Amino acid sequence: MQLILISGLAGAGKSTALRILEDSGYNCVDNLPPTMLPQLVEMYSLIYNSKKIAVSLDTRSLILLRQLPSAIANLKQLGIQTKIIFLEAHEDVLIKRFSETRRRHPLSDDKKTISDCIYEEQEVLSSISLMAHRIDTSDLSANNLRSIVKQFVEADYSQLNIVIQSFGFKYGLPIDSDFVFDVRCLPNPHYDKEIRHFNGLDEPIIDFLKKEDKVKKMIDDIYNMVSPWIKEFSLDNRNYLTISIGCTGGKHRSVYIAEKLAQNIKIDNYKTITRHRHINQ
């Protein structure tokens, strides 16, 4: 039995993620109180013979959310594999989404602004976010989110999964990062007009960057900093560790370095997942 719990901030994409899992063969339930999770699992297992369930949890069940840690502990005792996804986004992005859809925030009243509601929701859900794999949906398309969610549910949870993602600082810092490295000081292929239209996965950019001693030193320094701590994060019962590599546009240097760093970490027998947030923007 595999149980996926989806939580996160209102407007961050929980409904979209739930639909993605439904399309992937999961039996999905929206906004179930955590105390009912064991009964739900038992019902789907016995009556429907289902092995894949996804449940959305949010602040509509505010009072009962505090019981989620104990509910997850009970599920683990029953031998049920449980994974948690926490979706979040930058405040300005969430405000824009609420403005465009004209939806009411679950915590809104006559006195609170949307910003007040977002801040309160972040506080309420902070304990859940610490237990979960966080995904920043600020600039993700539905297709990108689909790919990330599928990577998540297919991941091997017998060990720590290392997520290495490239991004562009011009689009904002990914808030799902555990480590962030700025590589904007390195030589920039963008200024070579003959190759600027390629990205860090293409040979012209690879050839440009691999001949630069500073680029090799940056990769080695990042690896030497994070590699001694990976085991410590693994011992802390973490399922995911996200390392973000940023350059200006997220297309050249950060992509190349993220790929090289992933290759180095794979040598240590850790499972790596590589994402490039802004390679096509």
In order, the DSSP letters of 94-151 are: HHHHHHHHTPPPTT--SS--HHHHHHHHHHHTHHHHHHSEEEE-TT--HHHHHHHHHH
Q: Computed from CA positions of residues 5, 7, 12, 14, in that sequence, does the dihedral angle turn out positive or negative?
A: positive
Position 66 scores a pLDDT of 72
For residues 15 and 239, which has the higher predicted lDDT (pLDDT)? Answer: 15
How much is the mean pLDDT over the chain?
A: 88
Query: Whole-prediction pTM value?
Result: 0.78
Identity of the highest mean pLDDT range in 55-59, 143-147, 252-256: 252-256
Does 1 score more than 90 pLDDT?
A: no
Does 200 score more than 90 pLDDT?
A: yes
Measured between alpha carbons, how far is 173 from 179 in angstroms, rounded to an integer?
11
Measured between alpha carbons, how far is 32 from 57 in angstroms, rounded to an integer?
6
Position 63 scores a pLDDT of 64
pLDDT digits (tens, 9 = 90+) for 84-104: 899 999 999 999 998 888 888
Mean pLDDT of 185-207: 96
pLDDT digits (tens, 9 = 90+) for 104-163: 888 888 788 889 989 988 988 888 888 888 999 998 888 888 888 888 888 776 678 899
Which residues contact residue 204 at a Cβ distance below 8 angstroms, ignoring those fewer than 6 apart? 189, 194, 195, 198
For residues 222 and 75, which has the higher predicted lDDT (pLDDT)? Answer: 222
Position 237 scores a pLDDT of 66
Measured between alpha carbons, how far is 191 from 210 in angstroms, rounded to an integer?
16
Residue 114 structure tokens = 């949307």
For residues 248 and 113, which has the higher predicted lDDT (pLDDT)? Answer: 248
pLDDT digits (tens, 9 = 90+) for 7-55: 999 999 998 999 999 988 888 988 888 888 888 888 888 877 878 899 9
Q: Compute φ and ψ for 117, nearest 5 degrees.
A: -65, -40
Position 64 scores a pLDDT of 66
Residue 123 structure tokens = 């506080």
Measured between alpha carbons, how far is 161 from 168 in angstroms, rounded to an integer?
23
Mean pLDDT of 264-268: 87
Collapsing DSSP states into helix, strand and coil, what is residue 186?
coil
Position 255 scores a pLDDT of 98
Please give the CATH number for the structural domain made up of 2-154: 3.40.50.300
Does 69 score more than 80 pLDDT?
A: no
- Listed by start position, the domains of the chain span 2-154, 162-276
Mean pLDDT of 204-224: 96
